[in-house]
Amino acid sequence: MNKILYEKIMEAFSAVLPITAIVLIVSVVLVPMPVGTILMFIVGAALLIMGMGFFSLGADMAMMPMGEGIGIQLTKTPNLVLILSISFLMGLIITIAEPDLQVLAKQVPINADMVPIKPSSMVLVLTVGVGVGLFLMLAMVRTLFKIPLGILLVIFYLLTFGVALSPYAPQNFIPVAFDSGGVTTGPITVPFILSMGVGVASIRSDRHSQDDSFGLVSLCSVGPILAVLLLGVFFKPEGAMEPITAPDVATTRDVVRDFVTEIPHYFEEVIMALGALIGFFVVFQGISRRYKRHQIVRIVVGFLYTLIGLVVFLTGVNVGFIPVGHLMGHDLAASPLEKWLLVPLSMIIGYFIVAAEPAVHVLTKQVEEISAGAITQKVMYRGLSIGMALALAVTMVRILLGIPIMYILIPGYALSLGLTFLVPKIFTGIAFDSGGVCSGPMTSTFLLPLAMGACEGAGRDMMTDAFGIVAMVAMAPLIVIQLIGLVYGSKMKTSSKQAEAVYDAVSSADTGVIIEFEEAV
């Protein structure tokens, strides 16, 4: 176990090192920062590495086996109402406790006098949770009844954009709604829902079951967007956003104090999330008796690793990364000469920051396993990195020029939805799931503050211009991964034609010579 944990931590070190080096170079060359702020960032990076290592091991041991087991057990239940009820409950529970969503909700001003729930940020959280729960039910129906994912995505994205473009939806709430769909699929949600999809699809023995292993995350990303757009119709956002300030640290003791004092807060958030899942697991195990004793022990240990990993990870990125991201964005955007450097700099940051998202590791590993190595983790990482780089470049151009987000989202989603009818079916689910996993904790705690700082420095409206970066991050990988799918499908067709040609040649020749088929292909 220690060896596996060491390997996970070294993988995390390799993933985080590039983004850390980029920020340190920028702090020397372009944006001089206080020594205390940089020291906080370095400590945050170290905690991020440790947290990612523990979380990755915990997800392998607990979250994925639990999600897959529940998916398999649900499909054995003949009662469709029970399946849908459990799916809705699971979607609501894991979403309410998602740390990324909590970060976003605290940044969105909602008129507290108009809502009966306190704090007012909980209104957004509950709305997103209901959206995920309803669309997880829809995802289960799709898998069980073999409904094509592309058709559902087209229908509900058309409905979503129809609501967004209606005169009833407040324009300054649209970016927040699309961001809500992105932050929903974070480190708690993704491992569970991905594994649940694999478990449900594994029961089916038809040739399309592999294609339907993915797609649950993509549908669960649409639900919150639609739900939050409807929320914006009734509860108008208003008020000032919470300002981001750099920590006031003068000594190394101050640095340690700031991190230590925040640990109980994030421990409480994570224990609430995992506590709900553990409670559900206990009830599920008591009814189904699915897991053996050694499996239960492994899952419990996995939950412990996940708890440690998420607490350490969230403490590191929230305390150490948010102030640095905001300061970088603000100082560069405020300079008439240097503001356009945000575009290439964001591309570089985007390319490397993908590897630091915990949920990305879960997705790429599962894609390689489901595709039997045909779609490797390396190919997935490269595609996601390119997509993230393009997303951040477009986002910074949008902020600096004040381009409305719908001018980008509508053609972008039109292209990605059109590609769903051209690529192999499995790539549709993978692509739309990829958009969700890219917009995780690193996006909400580093890239969103970067965009907010740039927006503030450029004098743009925070609600309409800063928000939307998560939506852009969630959209770009859809297109890139589907383009990879086009290439993959083309190669498969070529290989199939070559195989048929070899077979025809051998069949027509009466030579008695045996030709090795694989070598001929």
Provide the whole-model pTM.
0.75
In the predicted model, what is the mean pLDDT of residues 306-324? 86
Residue 388 reports pLDDT greater than 60: yes
Count how many Cα atoms sit within 13 Å of the Cα of residue 174 in the half-sphere of its side chain: 23
Quote the pLDDT of residue 118. Answer: 47
What are the structure tokens assigned to 166, written together? 């209606």
**Spatial CA neighbour of 93 closest among 57, 125, 46, 45:** 125
- Report whether 424 contacts 488 (CB < 8 A): yes
Tokens at 257, concatenated? 């104090």
Distance between CA atoms of residues 481 and 434, nearest Å: 8
CB 435 within 8 A of CB 179: no
Query: Taking Cα atoms as reference points, which of 207, 319, 336 lies closest to residue 264?
Result: 319
pLDDT band at 345 (very low <50, low <70, confident <90, very high): very high
Least confident of 165-174, 292-301, 403-412: 165-174
Task: Quote the pLDDT of residue 308.
Answer: 92
Residue 518 confidence (pLDDT): 43
- What single string gives the DSSP state of each residue in 88-115? HHHHHHHHHT-HHHHHHHHHS-B-GGG-
Query: Is residue 111's pLDDT more than 60?
Result: no
Average pLDDT over residues 386-394: 90
Query: What are the structure tokens assigned to 371, written together?
Result: 């595709």
Task: Note the pLDDT of residue 144.
Answer: 77
Share of the chain above pLDDT 90, in %: 11
Q: Which two tokens stand for residue 510?
A: 């009466």
Q: Which residue has the higher pLDDT, 250 or 175?
A: 175
When pLDDT is averaged across residues 258-271 and rounded to a whole number, the result is 87
pLDDT at position 211 is 54
Q: In a 3-state reduction of DSSP, which class is residue 119?
A: coil
| Strand residues in 233-283 grouped as ranges (E) | none
**Span 442-494, pLDDT tens digits:** 777 788 888 889 998 988 888 788 888 888 888 887 888 888 888 877 777 77
Sequence-distant (≥ 6) Cβ neighbours of residue 265 within 8 angstroms: none
pLDDT at 408 over 60: yes
Asked if 185 and 221 touch (Cβ cutoff 8 Å), the reply is yes
